[in-house]
Amino acid sequence: MLDKPGLERLSRALNPQVVAVIGATKEPDRVGYSILESLLLGGYPGQILPIHPHHKVILGQKVYPSLDEAGLPVDLAILALNERASIEALDDCGRHEVKGAICVAGGYGEVGQEGAALQAELVAAAARNNILLVGPNTLGLINSRTHLNATFWPVTLKDGGVISAVSQSGGMGQLISFKMQQEGLTFNKWVGVGNRAMLDFEDFLQVLDQDLTTEVIAVFMEGTERARGFFELAGSIVERKPVVLMKAGRSESTQRFALTHTGSMAGSYRVYQDVADQFGVLMVDSIPEMVGVTKALSMAPPAPGTRVAILTPTAGPSIVMVDLLLDRGCTLAEFSPETMAAFEQRFVRVPVVLKNPLDASAVGYKAESYLDLAELILRDPGVDLLIALNIDHKNRVFPAEELVRLARRYGKPVLVCFIGPTDGASGLRDVCQAGGIPFYFSLEEAAWGAAGLVRRYLTLERLGVRHG
């Protein structure tokens, strides 16, 4: 946990005016090249100081032989050096007012005793120079809001996201990012905590808690020796914004393996699950579930209860969805007598069984009657959330814009589950999602999204927080 000056320093490092890349290089397959390229591709608008003893220009950027020659105070230093050179560089950083440093090198705590000793040296060097250290053994971090891509993963950045992610694994963090992209989402901040030698989950949780543009926090964790601190902090943040956690290592074998990755104990999965529930942290089983849940939480209005209704033109998928919903804390809404009477008027000569899920069959094929039924359901005071299921069909229109207006009018969460081509229907998805309707191409992800909203409702109820 950081004190106030520490938080300010970290905040400055995450919103830097000057970034140094120590160990920038011309070879495209090395991290010292990719880091510089990442800063440029990300569109970082501040001053970049590539540092290398011999090179003059890399990627069109003037290179300085040392921080001394560059002659500017540095907010963030990214160390593209091996595990020993990284330690030496920190003293140099200290002389140039560096506030934060990212150490990407591996070969520390994750590779045994010798590495652990090196890691202790690294931390000592950072501490004596008053530098907040990210990593080591990390991909780096990203702030899309300020177009800072401080990783060795050269990607462009899109502004506007409200979901921020903290990952103990770079690869899992990248998986979160690619899955979000596939789902039409952009992330706000992205941090790889690596070995967490100095800065840990809690420090970044603090930053993201204070960050007004972050509305949902997603965490991928292999394990931590300071689980109590993590959950206490996360549990207090949950009152303000949801924290969604994926924890690796359900099986014993996995736990043995994780021990030698980021040097952390994986811990008992079951214990994490119980504690997460207790503190209102939404635990998920997979990245698709994490992204499904964060999508719903970042987009839809809060659910006013647990009662879910499903409208569908076809029964099968809704049966499978009910399974998934009941497994995760949702209940099935029962339609009021008024709603049932209204349904009966719509299905005079159509042989269907009127219940929830409402399989409207052919009546559900036409946009107008589908919307009419959706409105009857949303109007029912016994319904807290509607999943609008539909199927792509050449001769039918899915009324995305009208559904957005309808959802707005009733203020309840509406989620769309669309059985269709992910490429061909991405336009429909974007219309829905821009209008506050999370849109899914899979039954599981739609159900997870709905359950995320319901779990959030239950958490806030339990904590006694005013919401809705």
Q: Of all helices (H) and strands (E), which one includes residue 219?
A: strand 216-221
Q: Please, what is the minimum distance in Å from the beta carbon of residue 228 to a second copy?
A: 23
Report the distance separating Cα 232 and Cα 224, nearest Å. Answer: 13
Report the distance separating Cα 296 and Cα 328, nearest Å. Answer: 15
Q: Please, what is the minimum distance in Å from the beta carbon of residue 68 to a second copy?
A: 29
Q: Which is nearer to a second copy, 332 or 431 (CB)?
A: 332
Helices 287-299, 170-182: crossing angle, 10 deg rounding = 50
Q: Please, what is the minimum distance in Å from the beta carbon of residue 299 to a second copy?
A: 21
Nearest to 227 by CA among 261, 271, 283, 258: 271
Q: Do 39 and 46 touch, CB atoms closer than 8 A?
A: no
Number of Cβ within 10 Å of residue 27's Cβ equals 10
Q: Which is nearer to a second copy, 129 or 306 (CB)?
A: 306
Residue 53, token pair as written in the block: 């003893």
Residue 359, strand partner residues: 312
Query: At residue 75, what is the residue type?
Result: D
Q: Which is nearer to a second copy, 2 or 36 (CB)?
A: 36
* DSSP secondary structure of 143-197: EGGGTEEEESS-----S---EEEEESSHHHHHHHHHHHHHTT--EEEEEE-TT-S
Q: Which is nearer to a second copy, 345 or 395 (CB)?
A: 395
Q: Which is nearer to a second copy, 253 or 345 (CB)?
A: 253
Q: Which is nearer to a second copy, 93 or 287 (CB)?
A: 287
Q: Three-class SS of residue 2? A: coil
Q: Please, what is the minimum distance in Å from the beta carbon of residue 137 to a second copy?
A: 9
What is the bridge-based pairing of β-strands 307-312 and 358-359? Answer: parallel
- For residue 49, how far is the Cα from the chain centroid? 30
Q: Please, what is the minimum distance in Å from the beta carbon of residue 296 to a second copy?
A: 19
Q: Please, what is the minimum distance in Å from the beta carbon of residue 382 to a second copy?
A: 16
Task: Give, rounded to a whole angstrom, the gap between the first and last alpha carbons of the chain.
Answer: 31
What DSSP state is assigned to residue 424?
Answer: T
Q: Please, what is the minimum distance in Å from the beta carbon of residue 352 to a second copy?
A: 7
Q: Which is nearer to a second copy, 13 or 276 (CB)?
A: 276
Q: Please, what is the minimum distance in Å from the beta carbon of residue 248 to a second copy?
A: 5
Q: Which is nearer to a second copy, 236 or 254 (CB)?
A: 254
Q: Which is nearer to a second copy, 326 or 463 (CB)?
A: 326
Residue 310, token pair as written in the block: 């499903």
Q: Please, what is the minimum distance in Å from the beta carbon of residue 4 to a second copy?
A: 32
Q: Do 206 and 2 touch, CB atoms closer than 8 A?
A: yes
Q: Which is nearer to a second copy, 236 or 286 (CB)?
A: 286
Query: At residue 2, what is the residue type?
Result: L
Q: Three-class SS of residue 248? A: coil
Q: Which is nearer to a second copy, 318 or 339 (CB)?
A: 318
| Radius of gyration, alpha carbons of the chain | 25
Q: Please, what is the minimum distance in Å from the beta carbon of residue 355 to a second copy?
A: 7
Report the distance separating Cα 386 and Cα 393, nearest Å. Answer: 22
What DSSP state is assigned to residue 255?
Answer: H
Q: Please, what is the minimum distance in Å from the beta carbon of residue 463 to a second copy?
A: 28
Q: Three-class SS of residue 418? A: strand
Report the distance separating Cα 22 and Cα 18, nearest Å. Answer: 13
Q: Please, what is the minimum distance in Å from the beta carbon of residue 408 to a second copy?
A: 27
Report the distance separating Cα 149 and Cα 142, nearest Å. Answer: 5
Q: Which is nearer to a second copy, 23 or 280 (CB)?
A: 23
